[in-house]
Amino acid sequence: MLESILITVATAATPLLIAAIGELVVERSGVLNLGVEGMMIMGAITGFAVALTTGSPWLGVFAAIIVGALVSLLFGFLTLTLVTNQVATGLALTLFGLGLSGMIGESFVGRPGVKLGTLDIPVLGDLPLVGRLLFGQDPLFYISIMLTAAVAYFLFSTRAGLMLRAVGDNHVSAHAQGIKVVRIRYLAVMFGGACAGLAGAYLSLVYTPQWVENMTAGRGWIALALVVFASWRPWRVVAGAYLFGGVTIGQLHAQAQALAIPSQLLSSLPYLATIAVLVIISRNRRLTMMNTPASLGRPFVPDR
């Protein structure tokens, strides 16, 4: 029983982790993209449609990554080239993704999907309690952990990561040092979009292998909150993702136990937890200001 619960928590946490780690890189570069929900839902419908059409879930995964990156390019063009307001543009991107995905996915509603299978490692997968949890998960679970490790190493152990953080902390000084601010931000935005697309594909190919309109159900917003919760630190994102994954699965189990609590209240618990965490974090202004990229959300124009 405990093993099954832990496995479902990991499954619920994985899309949050993937989307949040991509947004973390975007925000470390000084860009605030509130369009994660829209990019996730576009990745979900693209992954489902391509996998169902071709019969290959991996083609669906790759297509979702590409579409996520392409949708993020639209955000990048508007905010980095045309210097539009990042908050308004991100909100518009979410609405655009939700609407377009609903239109594209209309003919896919109710059709059984193609599920991405799990990796069953002999002997290790048979270990009690941790066997299936650590050695019998889907490939994207392992990719999410490796992605976190790669991002942590990139940000804090490479010259390119130092440049990206320099751009996020002070884009004027970075530009004066000869760093290509706009180019780095474009690459960061595309990486975040690719991760959001991958997270969306996870929902429609692993979590629930079917297409349902608005199936992201606010997970993009939770991913945004996770970045703040983690103080823009990759490994803290892992802890936050699994915490929120646990809350999500916990409320489902509570509903299954037929507790005398309204189901609507139980369904809202992940979002109430998100609000509570943000309120708690916001009270520690010193910690927040110390880790927040100083140029976050601020437009940059080289000739100004």
Residue 87 lies in a domain: yes
Q: Could you read off the pLDDT of 228-259 as tens digits, one per residue?
A: 888 899 999 999 899 888 887 777 666 666 66
The residue that leads in pLDDT, 122 or 229, is 229
Residue 298 lies in a domain: no
pLDDT at 301: 86
Q: Which residue intervals of the chain are DSSP H helices?
A: 2-28, 36-54, 57-76, 86-104, 131-135, 139-157, 159-169, 171-176, 181-202, 219-229, 234-256, 263-267, 269-283, 285-291
Residue 59 lies in a domain: yes
pLDDT at 255: 64
Q: Could you read off the pLDDT of 51-110 as tens digits, one per residue?
A: 999 999 999 999 999 999 999 999 999 999 999 999 999 999 999 999 999 999 999 998
Long-range CB pairs of 119-123, under 8 A, 24+ apart, other chains included: none
Give the domain CATH number at 111.
1.10.3470.10
Q: Could you read off the pLDDT of 146-170 as tens digits, one per residue?
A: 999 999 999 999 999 999 999 999 9
Q: How many C-beta atoms lie closer than 10 Å to residue 30's C-beta?
A: 28
Identity of the highest mean pLDDT range in 64-68, 114-118, 283-287 = 64-68
Q: Could you read off the pLDDT of 5-30 as tens digits, one per residue?
A: 778 888 999 999 999 999 999 999 99
Q: How far apart are CA 25 and CA 236, in angstroms?
A: 14
Structure tokens at 262: 């309204």
Number of domains in the chain: 1
Q: Is the pLDDT of residue 287 over 70?
A: no
pLDDT at 259: 62
* Mean local confidence (pLDDT), 268-292: 72
pLDDT at 254: 66
Residue 243 lies in a domain: yes
Residue 296 lies in a domain: no
Write out 114-181 in H/E/C secondary structure.
CCCCCCCCCCHHHCCCCHHHHHCCCHHHHHHHHHHHHHHHHHHHCHHHHHHHHHHHCHHHHHHCCCCH
Q: What is the pTM of this model?
A: 0.92
% of the chain residues with pLDDT over 70? 88
Residue 156 lies in a domain: yes
Residue 304 lies in a domain: no
Q: Could you read off the pLDDT of 185-235 as tens digits, one per residue?
A: 999 999 999 999 999 999 999 999 999 999 998 999 999 999 988 889 999
pLDDT at 304: 52
Burial class (CB in 10 A: 0-12, 13-18, 19+), 180: middle
Residue 191 lies in a domain: yes
Q: Which range of residues forms the domain containing residue 137?
A: 2-291
pLDDT at 126: 67
